[in-house]
């Protein structure tokens, strides 16, 4: 499409869209070429048709945005990571809507790890050999921290994400914020000092180190050896929430816990107040049911005891009556009257019962007691 100017007298004026279209048309005439640089800010998503990354000149810091079709990028199977040095073949193009220059990549070849990446890998191996990243040295996070320390950059979006997340989950939480420089020259020293100050706070039980996403270089302070050692030596547990999920600064490995984002860090360090209230309600309901069951059991036990107490005197009287009947029967069986009823008699001479015939002389008067009535008798003969 031909780019036509607007005429203002003898002056030719091009609208912005026409100017961008013309520049883009001239750029498309340039041949493909190779560009060398370090890969940074690599962004790939299954839902995107394009992979985005930046090529950086490690000597000067100059940057060039680049794109590549995701299918072509995946077909290379390079497994690229931020910091790797590559050769990229493609051509320059202009995004007309925004007037942004980019490099449209057609091929990528790995040249080798970038200087930063190689240095970080050496530091990572050295610190791992010292045991700074061992899982057994990781400490559990407190269930209910008295205060949460938050180390973040000034006016950082990460600060708002963490505070919003904490207040939404657990409104009573107390947060102590330490704002400091988190990128650029001197940032590592500032981060170490801020972490030390938070750990020294008398109520802080856990510290969140938070920073939002950024370029590979932006996150380098969190892989600084001083910062990594400070995180490992912190007297209270540390949660690292630096960058996006795909970023892995060395402080992530030294921290007691890692959060994929600052928002996720809030979910880690404080409990959910709604879940706590629901749990308390379930516990209260369970206690009420248990108390009711105990009361019902005690009520039934008391009722049984009451019935037994009411029946006890009657049972006692019945047992006593039966015992008396048995004693009466035994006494009745042993009574002389019972013997008389069976046809026997009691013979008395004077006031004494006669047990031996020799004790009564012939001619003596005796009294014979029968079951009914008595007889007066004269002893005519005594037989021995």
Q: What is the largest CA-CA distance in the chain?
A: 192
Beta pairing, strands 175-180 & 147-153: parallel
DSSP 8-state class, residue 216: T
Q: Would 384 be classed as within a structural domain? A: no
* Lowest model confidence (mean pLDDT) among 36-40, 82-86, 285-289: 82-86
Q: Would 237 be classed as within a structural domain? A: yes
Encoding tokens for residue 97? 């809507």
Q: What CATH number is associated with residue 210?
A: 3.40.50.10550
Domain range for residue 355?
338-378
CB–CB of 54/86 below 8 Å? no
Q: Tell whether 150 and 186 lie within a shared domain.
A: yes
Percent of the chain surpassing pLDDT 70: 97
Q: What angle do CA 307, 313, 315 make, to 5 degrees?
A: 85
Q: What pLDDT was estimated at residue 287? A: 92
Selected residue with higher pLDDT from 319 and 139: 139
Q: Would 277 be classed as within a structural domain? A: yes
Q: Tell whether 48 and 189 lie within a shared domain.
A: no
Query: Residue 262 pLDDT more than 50?
Result: yes
Q: Tell whether 67 and 31 lie within a shared domain.
A: yes
Q: What CATH number is associated with residue 66?
A: 2.40.50.140
Q: Tell whether 77 and 170 lie within a shared domain.
A: no
Q: Tell whether 127 and 247 lie within a shared domain.
A: yes
Q: Would 76 be classed as within a structural domain? A: yes
Q: Could you say which of 55, 80, 113 is where a domain stops?
A: 113
Q: What pLDDT was estimated at residue 84? A: 84
Q: Tell whether 53 and 193 lie within a shared domain.
A: no
Q: Would 144 be classed as within a structural domain? A: yes
User: What number is the average pLDDT over the span 249-267?
Assistant: 91
Q: How many CA atoms lie within 13 A of 282 on its CB side?
A: 6
Please give the sequence-ordered ranges of beta strands (E in DSSP) within the chain, or none if there are none: 6-8, 11-13, 33-43, 50-56, 63-69, 84-95, 100-113, 147-153, 175-180, 204-211, 238-242, 257-258, 346-349, 352-353, 365-369, 374-378
- All residues at 6 or more sequence positions from 362 whose CB lies less than 8 Å from its CB, including other chains: 379, 380, 381, 382
Q: Tell whether 345 and 276 lie within a shared domain.
A: no
Q: Tell whether 325 and 342 lie within a shared domain.
A: no
Beta carbons within 10 angstroms of residue 31's beta carbon: 5
DSSP 8-state class, residue 141: P
Selected residue with higher pLDDT from 237 and 332: 237
**Helices (H) then strands (E): counts for the chain:** 10, 16
Q: What pLDDT was estimated at residue 25? A: 86
Q: Could you say which of 113, 135, 166 is where a domain stops?
A: 113
CB–CB of 144/173 below 8 Å? no
Q: Would 234 be classed as within a structural domain? A: yes
Q: What pLDDT was estimated at residue 360? A: 85
Query: Residue 116 pLDDT more than 70?
Result: no
Query: Residue 264 pLDDT more than 60?
Result: yes
Query: Residue 191 pLDDT more than 90?
Result: yes
Beta pairing, strands 257-258 & 238-242: parallel
Q: Would 232 be classed as within a structural domain? A: yes
Q: Tell whether 166 and 280 lie within a shared domain.
A: no
Q: Tell whether 312 and 204 lie within a shared domain.
A: no
Q: What is the CA radius of gyration of the chain?
A: 54
Give 200-242 pLDDT, tens digit per residue. Answer: 999 999 999 998 877 666 788 899 999 999 999 999 999 999 8
Q: What pLDDT was estimated at residue 113? A: 47
The end-to-end CA distance of the chain, in Å, is 170
Helix (H) or strand (E) holding 274: helix 273-334
Q: Which residues are registered as beta bridge partners of 91?
A: 104
Q: What pLDDT was estimated at residue 197? A: 95
Most confident among 28-37, 344-353, 365-374 (mean pLDDT): 28-37
Please state, in angstroms and rounded to a whole number, the distance separating the CA atoms of residues 114 and 198: 35
CB–CB of 56/38 below 8 Å? yes
Q: How many domains does the chain have?
A: 4
Query: Residue 376 pLDDT more than 90?
Result: no
User: What number is the average pLDDT over the span 316-342?
Assistant: 80
Please state, in angstroms and rounded to a whole number, the distance separating the CA atoms of residues 181 and 178: 10
pLDDT band, residue 112 (cuts 50/70/90): low
pLDDT band, residue 257 (cuts 50/70/90): very high
pLDDT band, residue 364 (cuts 50/70/90): confident
Q: Tell whether 128 and 247 lie within a shared domain.
A: yes
Q: Tell whether 123 and 262 lie within a shared domain.
A: yes
Q: Could you say which of 98, 113, 128 is where a domain stops?
A: 113
What is the overall mean pLDDT for the chain?
87
Q: Would 1 be classed as within a structural domain? A: no
Selected residue with higher pLDDT from 375 and 141: 141
CB–CB of 194/180 below 8 Å? yes
CB–CB of 369/346 below 8 Å? yes
């Amino acid at each position: 499409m031909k780019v036509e100017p607007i005429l203002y007298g003898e002056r030719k004026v091009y609208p912005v869209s026409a100017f961008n279209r013309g520049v883009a048309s001239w750029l498309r005439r340039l041949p493909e070429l190779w560009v060398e640089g370090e890969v940074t800010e690599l962004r790939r998503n299954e839902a995107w048709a394009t992979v985005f990354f930046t090529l950086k000149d490690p000597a000067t810091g100059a940057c060039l945005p680049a794109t590549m079709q995701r299918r072509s990028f995946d077909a290379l199977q390079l497994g690229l990571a931020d910091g790797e040095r590559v050769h990229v073949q493609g051509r320059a193009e202009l995004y007309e809507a925004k007037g942004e220059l980019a490099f449209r990549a057609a091929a990528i070849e790995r040249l080798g790890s970038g200087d930063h990446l190689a240095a970080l890998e050496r530091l990572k191996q050295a610190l791992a050999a010292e045991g700074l990243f061992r899982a057994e040295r990781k400490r559990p996070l407190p269930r209910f921290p008295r205060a949460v320390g938050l180390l973040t950059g000034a006016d950082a979006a990460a600060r708002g994400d963490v505070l919003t997340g904490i207040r939404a989950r657990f409104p009573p939480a107390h947060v102590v914020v330490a704002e400091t420089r988190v990128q650029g020259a001197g940032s590592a020293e500032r981060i170490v000092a801020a972490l030390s100050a938070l750990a020294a706070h008398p109520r802080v039980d856990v510290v969140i180190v938070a920073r939002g996403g950024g370029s590979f270089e932006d996150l380098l302070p969190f892989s600084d050896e001083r910062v990594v050692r400070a995180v490992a030596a912190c007297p209270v547990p540390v949660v690292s929430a630096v960058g996006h999920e795909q970023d892995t600064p060395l402080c992530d490995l030294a921290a007691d816990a890692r959060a994929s984002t600052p928002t996720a860090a809030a979910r880690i360090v404080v409990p959910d107040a709604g879940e706590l209230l629901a749990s308390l309600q379930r516990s209260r309901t369970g206690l009420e049911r248990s108390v009711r069951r105990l009361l019902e059991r005690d009520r039934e036990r008391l009722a049984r005891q009451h019935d037994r107490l009411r029946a006890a005197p009657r049972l006692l009287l019945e047992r006593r009556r039966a015992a008396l009947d048995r004693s009466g029967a035994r006494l009745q069986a042993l009574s002389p009257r019972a013997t008389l009823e069976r046809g026997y008699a009691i013979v008395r001479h004077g006031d004494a019962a006669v047990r031996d015939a020799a004790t009564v002389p012939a001619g003596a008067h005796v009294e014979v007691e029968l079951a009914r009535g008595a007889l007066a008798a004269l002893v005519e003969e005594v037989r021995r």
